[in-house]
Amino acid sequence: MNKAELVDAIVGMMGENTTKRKAEGFIDAFTATVMEAVSKGDKVSIVGFGSFEKRHREARKGRNPRTGDTINIEAKDYPAFTPGKGFRDKVSG
C-alpha cells in the first residue's frame, strides 16, 4: 500500500465528511511529528499499534564482500519500530 492508497483507505473509513486533502494532511502531520520526536530521542508509543524509538548501534568491524578486506563501520543511531500486541495479534491471525 502506498501513500495514495492509504489516503483513500482513511477517507473510506472516516466517511463522507473527510476529504483526501484532510487525510493526506493528517498522514503528513503524523509522520513529521513522529520523525521529529524520535530524532530528539523521545519514544512514541501508540497503545495497540506499537512504539517508535531511536536506537544506537556501536561501531564494529565488518568485511567488504568484494575484496574480503576488514573495514570499520561507524557507530550510528537509527529509527526502530516495535509492534504492539494488538498489531502482532492481527498479523498472526
Per-residue pLDDT of the chain (93 residues; tens, 9 = 90+): 999 999 999 999 998 788 999 999 999 999 999 999 999 999 999 999 999 999 999 999 999 999 999 999 999 999 999 999 999 999 998
Structural domain range at position 9: 1-40
Q: Are 66 and 88 contained in the same domain?
A: yes
Q: Write the DSSP assignment of 80-92 as a string of letters.
A: EEEE-HHHHHHHH
Q: Are 5 and 33 contained in the same domain?
A: yes
For 80: left if phi > 0, alpha if psi spans -120 to 50, otherwise beta; the answer is beta
Residues sharing a CB contact under 8 Å with residue 65, sequence separation 6 or more, in sequence order:
none
Domain CATH number, residue 85: 4.10.520.10
User: What pLDDT score was predicted for residue 73?
Assistant: 96
Predicted TM-score of the model (pTM): 0.80
Q: Are 72 and 61 contained in the same domain?
A: yes
